[in-house]
Amino acid sequence: MNGNRTRLFDVAVIGAGMAGMATSLFAARRDLSCVQVGNGGGILFASGLLDLLGVHPVADRRRWDCPFEALSSLRRDLPDHPLARVGDDALRAAFEAFVSELGAVGLPYAPLDGANHPVLTSIGTVKTTYAVPRSMMAGVEMMRSRPSCLLVDFRGLREFSARQVVAKIGADWPGLHSVRVEFPGFEAVSELYAAHLARAIESAATRDSVAERVRPLLGDATAVGFPAVLGLSRSGEVHERLQQSLGLPVFEIPTMPTSVPGLRLKDAMEAALAAWRVVRHVQAKVTKVSFDDDVATLSLDDVPGGQTIRARSVVLATGRFTGGGLSAGRGHVSERVLDLPVHQPGTRGEWHRRDFLDPAGHPVNRAGLATDGDFRPLSADGRPAWHRLFATGSILAHQDWMREKCGSGLAIGTAWTAVEAISRGLQAPRKAG
């Protein structure tokens, strides 16, 4: 990577979570040369389900069957919400592009139909989401019609209990049954780890053996649910073959983070970025960014003595508190890379409401960077901090993605819009003078 010192990139993305990945991918797809800095582990908290917008307003916990209807409501109620600034067409195009890229590297998603889908979770609750991995899609159909259905779990895999799921949802789904089987080859192991099973089941012998152990237990089931351990890099193939050998639709139930679908998403994103020739510094942190008229210089700490990369535009996709983009001090919240002004409640006393589980959420959950319409963060004087500095994903202010079920939508939608603006800006003729 010695050449990166002198190379001038079109885009430097700081952060490798969902927003950083989406931004890098969209930039590279537009033939912008892109460098990404950041530990890629954060994306492991993803479930593989890509939400667009599920709940609004959060205080009423109102779920929407159509995310675009939810969006128009959101635009009326919260015009400053970042998603409110992304058009429907842009969101559709962004999601289509995102899942087709994932499909191209071996992580297929069910076709997008503009609707939200109910997904059964590993604790028996129902989650509303938009884009569903193909390996989980049969479960959505089962959730809707609720026929006789078998849930399988593996002895020793602590993060998934089929019995618990049935106990939670069984009253509303009488045909749902659970069985427990030994995972072939792991009979002597007391504690199983999902990723190990996911790798093991990629071998045809193990897969057939799982099918053989489940087949006698099928009864009158019309579909079979497994914890999400059906393959890591070849999950599409494992799912397909398992359906063939069982003769029934098979679906995965997403498990608690960090999960195998998170690993798949990480691996797939990395493969997609590699295919688009995005340069990545995965074990690096940005320690400093300096700007001159047209070029930003980022200092990295991944080699002794540090190194620098140069880019014509910078995207801050560093996330909020867990991602390390924001940091909460005693008195106020600050932005960690550039110390940009953070939109936040006036005093610490106003960060949280009285009730921790208040469905309306807490004001500090909507803290973040205020931006203009192109997602350029604003400095204290209300003007963009630098003319080609952008921010995408959860670091943006005025949203509460966890309660609104819009994390992926926020990342993918703002990334799309920001990259469009970058592309426009880089093509525009330089201002004279």
Partner 1 sequence: MSASSFRIAVYIALGLCALGLLWRLSAWLRVRIGPDARAIPFHRRLASALHGAFSFAFSRRLPGVLKAFLLDVLLQRRLFAEAKVRWLGHLLILLGFTALLLMHALAALLTQKLFKGYQPTLDPYLFLRNVFGAMAVAGIVLVIAGRRRAQRVAPTAHRLGDRVFVALLSIVMVSGFLLEAQKIASPAAFQRMVDEYFGEDISPEDLSALKAAWAVDYGVAFEDAAADPDPALLETGRELHKDACASCHSLPTSAFVSYPVSRVMGPAVRPLDDVDAAKWLWYLHVFACLLGLAVLPFTRLFHAISDPVSLLVNGAASSRPLSDAGRASRRALAIDACVRCGLCDTRCSVAPIARFMNNASLLPSHKLLSTFRFAREGRGRLRDGARYDRIAEGAFLCSSCGRCTERCPVGLGLDDLWTAQRDDLAAAGHPAAAKWVQSRTASEWADLLPAPPGEGPAVAPLSSDRRTFSPCVQCQTCTNVCPVVAHTAGAGDGVDLTPQKVMNLLRLGMVDLALGSRMVWDCATCYQCQEHCPEGIRVTDVMLELRQSAYRRLATVRDRRRPE
Which residues of this protein are in contact with partner 1, per CB under 8 A?
39-45, 185-189, 192-196, 199, 257-258, 260, 263, 266, 282-283, 324
Nearest to 120 by CA among 206, 178, 68: 178
In the chain, the amino acid numbered 19 is A
Q: Which residue has the tokens 């057939």?
A: 208
In the chain, the amino acid numbered 236 is G
Minimum gap (Å) between residue 316 Cβ and partner 1: 17
Cα–Cα distance, 423 to 31 (Å, whole number): 9
Minimum gap (Å) between residue 207 Cβ and partner 1: 17
CA of residue 375 relative to chain centroid, distance: 19
Q: Which is nearer to partner 1, 126 or 282 (CB)?
A: 282
Q: Which is nearer to partner 1, 318 or 365 (CB)?
A: 318
Cα–Cα distance, 346 to 234 (Å, whole number): 50
Q: Which is nearer to partner 1, 81 or 199 (CB)?
A: 199
Minimum gap (Å) between residue 46 Cβ and partner 1: 10
Minimum gap (Å) between residue 271 Cβ and partner 1: 14
Q: Which is nearer to partner 1, 142 or 194 (CB)?
A: 194
Q: Which is nearer to partner 1, 278 or 378 (CB)?
A: 278
Provide the H-helix boundaries in 276-406. Answer: 401-404
Q: Which is nearer to partner 1, 203 or 290 (CB)?
A: 203
Cα–Cα distance, 392 to 410 (Å, whole number): 8
Minimum gap (Å) between residue 138 Cβ and partner 1: 25
Q: Which is nearer to partner 1, 248 or 395 (CB)?
A: 395
Give the count of beta carbons closer than 10 Å to the beta carbon of residue 310: 17
Q: Tell me the two tokens of residue 358.
A: 């208040």
Minimum gap (Å) between residue 125 Cβ and partner 1: 20
Q: What share of the chain is helix, strand, coil (3-state, %, to 5)?
A: 40, 20, 40
Minimum gap (Å) between residue 243 Cβ and partner 1: 25
Q: Which is nearer to partner 1, 92 or 196 (CB)?
A: 196
Cα–Cα distance, 24 to 178 (Å, whole number): 42
Phi-psi region of 43 (alpha: psi -120 to 50; beta: other; left: phi over 0): alpha
In the chain, the amino acid numbered 90 is A
Minimum gap (Å) between residue 199 Cβ and partner 1: 7
Cα–Cα distance, 239 to 236 (Å, whole number): 5
Angle at 400 between CA 399 and CA 405, to 5 degrees: 115
Q: Which is nearer to partner 1, 41 or 359 (CB)?
A: 41
Are 121 and 169 in contact by the 8 Å Cβ rule? The answer is no
Minimum gap (Å) between residue 185 Cβ and partner 1: 7
Minimum gap (Å) between residue 192 Cβ and partner 1: 8
Cα–Cα distance, 219 to 217 (Å, whole number): 6
DSSP 361-372: --GGGG-BB-B-
Q: Which is nearer to partner 1, 60 or 302 (CB)?
A: 302
Q: Tell me the two tokens of residue 103.
A: 């499909």
Are 301 and 309 in contact by the 8 Å Cβ rule? The answer is no
